[in-house]
Structure 1
């Protein structure tokens, strides 16, 4: 039943709900009305039995129970009976036999109990009998229980209920069709966008309330998809442009080696020094392509990551990144001045960002000048600064430092793809922070990252309170 219901359209569901609600309402109304009608009919019948009993009792008191003239049986409706002192009974001629006098009615005739209203079942019909004491006996007036009014009322209510259910289904269907018309148009527009792949076709805003909010949400989604497609297209174009130069150089060098090898002049045409330099260039170009591919993959993933967010000490991340740089570039000196600051973030992503900052500074820092890395708490932020003693960044290049593939004219000859700082900005933004560039006191570039500091749980706060975690 659940599977069938879930497969139905919203129109069908609304129609079924409307028809069911009306059917339940009619059934409840029928039950209540039937009970009220039955109670009213019984009350009227009992009052009539009491009135007829008093009339018969008055006649019996005057003439005596044995001599009182009983009214003739009218053929239907009221029945009478007299209970004599000896327990025998008198009934009008031709009247159907009433059920046997009950024990309680006998006690009324004997004066041991008050008047009595009771229901009895006969051979064919049911009776309602009222017993009233008179002299040394009693009189009884009864009538056959008649369910025909209730049955006629029930039949009428059934017909009315069926009409109401059918009318409710029609009304529900009409209301559903009218109310869901904007949804139909919205669905058609969404299908058209899906078929044509035209993300620039916004869905017209119509209606109000929930429909309007849904249309706005879908338009916002289309806008996000447009931005994503535009970003993908730019990334592909920029990647193709950046890959063209190293691939061309790599292809030319390989073609040179293949041509010389086919001629058999590889050993004579190139000296050992030239071959060594050529092979080193090939290795450097392959390494550059590998690094570029890795950075492109990382950048294309955006903020999608399986790494979970955790509470961590940013000092550990900075120290790990500095250690990794020292292992890769032994000649680069990295001076750390860091203080324990806790943040909520993804360790690997943050370490990659710090590593890119130090790598970028290492390209510009003179051999005799270290790259300085400082980490401190400043208000509610963790502030990371990386500066070098290089030539600094020109004012014209500052606005585009964090753009993908952007490289200043002075950096064209240096290794790199122009993606490192773009990855830094993406990671920092994903953690709710911001990245900025300025000129350092040593004349070089100062790259600053501000991240929201995390509130420490009480046990960790007590452990870190008063500790000097500065690392030199």
Structure 2
């Protein structure tokens, strides 16, 4: 059974990815040195072979010229050829009739080639040729001499190249081992800040101590990584601090309505167990107590809902979309009037487009209108204006109440903050805080000033967005027709 062709590369890739960075650097360093040594060996072997061959050819030419000079003086047939000493060069004389003479005891050379015979006949002056196999080859030089030719040959010897290759192999192995060691050392030294960073991160994870910043050391990418982690820890510290403050404030704010609700319920239960509920609480008092209970439950429900919304922060499953803010404002005004029928809302809105989350924006506008409705006199409506500014959308909610004291303005958007004059009114002090969070999440700004009617004027500015293409074309067509 054959394995799929792509399985082995994938297995090798998975094996490589499971290696540590230190091991990868070691393997890369050793591989790079091994490849470099191999390439250097190949290039050096070729150069050495060419150099040795050129030297051998030059030596053969020089020996041939000496032998040819002696042959011309003494004649090819009478030339004295000393016995073969057992090693070294090989010689041969080619006579005019094609026969050959060789020294006594000399190994036999390959037969005279046809090109060498042409040199002996005077067709060319000399010839350099190689004959034989790679293991037992000859380099033969043929030179014209008298009526024939002389040949000087040398056995092809690869031992210098082999010795050089063996030496390069040993050097290469040492270099690979040294490269692996150097790569390991460099990886350990270079990754030391990463190890300390990992240890610090593990310590923070175990101790949950977000106040311990990681020491800023190293440079380049390591330093940026440490700074990024420290920034993340700072953000987590701020988030934990905000959660702690929210929990403390929520516990404080929930204590009062829960205590009042518990006392009233205990009073009803105690009187009912005694059987004196009707005598101790006349119908009018009982109705007033039940109304107080209902109001307290409603206030507690509103507080819990606002706490839940505030605790979620910017986390929301609602997606951002392009929407007409005028529709959102109109829907919020309708909800405000249904919740407080005695509050009149006067709308002065125009179609403006923003990119945002519809439910969150509607909740923010509803909180603004509810806040203004608490202060506006019964005969004075809450004025809501929506207009387009320079690259922004401006929403204004104006009431005719007593306004906000200058001392309260800096803290009006703080969580659970309620001015002294507002403590007798229903509410949790979270409405405007939720408004600011929603506006900040949409990249806008919210502010409060005194209105022309003497009350508070809350102004929200949001980045404007281009309307959808069909609406933009329709608007352009209406403008052209009007002109």
State the secondary structure of the residue aligned to 1:244: helix
- Contact in 1 for aligned 2:82/2:104 (Cα 8 Å): no
Deviations 1:364-400 (A, max 9, x none): 2222222111111222221111111122112221111
Deviations 1:247-290 (A, max 9, x none): 22222233333334444455555455555544444333333223
- Contact in 2 for aligned 1:391/1:445 (Cα 8 Å): yes
Tell which deviates more after alignment, 379-388 or 52-61. 52-61
Alignment match, 1:35: 46
Shift, 1:320, TM fit: 2.7
Q: Which of 290, 295, 308 is the matching residue for 2:319? A: 308
Q: What are the within-5 Å matches in structure 2 for residues 139-150 of structure 1?
A: 139-150=150-161
In 2 relative to 1, CA 415–62 (structure 1 residues): closer, same or farther, beyond 3 Å? Answer: same
- Contact in 2 for aligned 1:183/1:211 (Cα 8 Å): yes
Deviations 1:278-306 (A, max 9, x none): 44443333332232222212211222233
- TM-score, length-scaled by structure 2: 0.86
Q: Which of 98, 113, 116 is the matching residue for 2:109? A: 98
Deviations 1:431-460 (A, max 9, x none): 222110011111111000112223567765
Which 5+ residue runs of structure 1 have no aligned equivalent? none
Pairing 1:291–2:302 present: yes
- Contact in 2 for aligned 1:98/1:122 (Cα 8 Å): no
Counterpart Cα distance in 1 of 2:337 and 2:263: 34
In 2 relative to 1, CA 349–135 (structure 1 residues): closer, same or farther, beyond 3 Å? Answer: farther
Pairing 1:367–2:396 present: no
Counterpart Cα distance in 2 of 1:214 and 1:38: 53
Alignment match, 1:448: 459
Deviations 1:197-221 (A, max 9, x none): 2222233333444443333333322
Shift, 1:323, TM fit: 3.0
Tell which deviates more after alignment, 105-114 or 323-332. 105-114
Q: What are the within-5 Å matches in structure 2 for residues 390-405 of structure 1?
A: 390-405=401-416
In 2 relative to 1, CA 364–55 (structure 1 residues): closer, same or farther, beyond 3 Å? Answer: same
Alignment match, 2:269: 258
Alignment: residue pair count: 468
Alignment match, 1:249: 260
Alignment match, 1:229: 240
Q: Which of 67, 70, 74 is the matching residue for 1:56? A: 67
Counterpart Cα distance in 2 of 1:415 and 1:467: 47
State the secondary structure of the residue aligned to 2:42: helix
Task: Tell me the C-alpha RMSD between the 2 structures.
Answer: 2.9
State the secondary structure of the residue aligned to 1:375: strand
State the secondary structure of the residue aligned to 2:177: helix
State the secondary structure of the residue aligned to 1:465: helix
- Contact in 1 for aligned 2:210/2:237 (Cα 8 Å): yes
In 2 relative to 1, CA 278–138 (structure 1 residues): closer, same or farther, beyond 3 Å? Answer: farther
Alignment match, 2:196: 185
Q: Which of 398, 418, 426 is the matching residue for 1:407? A: 418
Counterpart Cα distance in 1 of 2:33 and 2:75: 60
Q: What are the within-5 Å matches in structure 2 for residues 30-429 of structure 1?
A: 30-109=41-120, 115-122=126-133, 125-134=136-145, 137-266=148-277, 269-429=280-440
In 2 relative to 1, CA 124–197 (structure 1 residues): closer, same or farther, beyond 3 Å? Answer: closer
Which 5+ residue runs of structure 2 have no aligned equivalent? 1-11
Q: Which of 21, 27, 30 is the matching residue for 1:16? A: 27
In 2 relative to 1, CA 386–130 (structure 1 residues): closer, same or farther, beyond 3 Å? Answer: same
Tell which deviates more after alignment, 439-448 or 268-277. 268-277
Deviations 1:395-447 (A, max 9, x none): 22111110001111222222221111111111111222211001111111100
